[in-house]
């Protein structure tokens, strides 16, 4: 399993990366949106984890770009956030997010969701 993580919170990103690596995933930490879009085009990318911390419109647009780009194999997009507003969550799903997980993150649950999604 190959997972890309874009998380401006270094502590959270490092924790999630470490845990996913312990579970056998190949993890790449991404630092910019452009890098994320370029790496998501890699056919071997199974999932993208995005930590939501910017204005909602920017995330919705990023997810739309990942999902609509024909050169990208459309990896599963997981959004991680403290925000639990229904309108925010619905906007992200409407943009193409596959999962929305609230923080604090239950890492075993994330791994279970990733494994189930990738087994399909």
Of 68, 67, 63, 99, the C-alpha closest to 81 is 99
Of 71, 69, 31, the C-alpha closest to 50 is 31
Per residue in 44-63, pLDDT (tens digit) is 778 889 887 777 888 899 89
Decide if domain 2-119 falls under CATH 3.40.50.2300. yes
Tell me the whole-structure pTM to 2 decimals: 0.83
Q: Where are the domains of the chain?
A: 2-119
Per residue in 72-96, pLDDT (tens digit) is 667 889 999 888 889 989 999 999 9
**Chain-wide mean pLDDT for the chain?**
84
Per residue in 28-48, pLDDT (tens digit) is 998 888 888 888 776 677 888
The dihedrals phi and psi of 25, each to the nearest 5 degrees, come to: -80, 145
């Amino acid at each position: 399993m190959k997972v890309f993580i874009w998380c401006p919170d270094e502590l959270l990103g490092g924790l999630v990366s470490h845990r996913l690596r312990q579970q056998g995933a190949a993890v790449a930490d991404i630092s910019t949106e452009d890098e994320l879009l370029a790496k998501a085009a890699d056919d071997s990318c199974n999932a993208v984890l995005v930590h939501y911390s910017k204005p909602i419109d920017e995330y919705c647009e990023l997810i739309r770009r990942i999902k609509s780009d024909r050169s990208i194999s459309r990896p599963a997009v997981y959004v991680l956030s403290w925000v639990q507003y229904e309108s925010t969550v619905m906007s992200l799903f409407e943009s193409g997010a596959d999962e929305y997980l609230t923080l604090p993150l239950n890492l075993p649950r994330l791994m279970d969701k990733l494994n189930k999604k990738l087994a399909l």
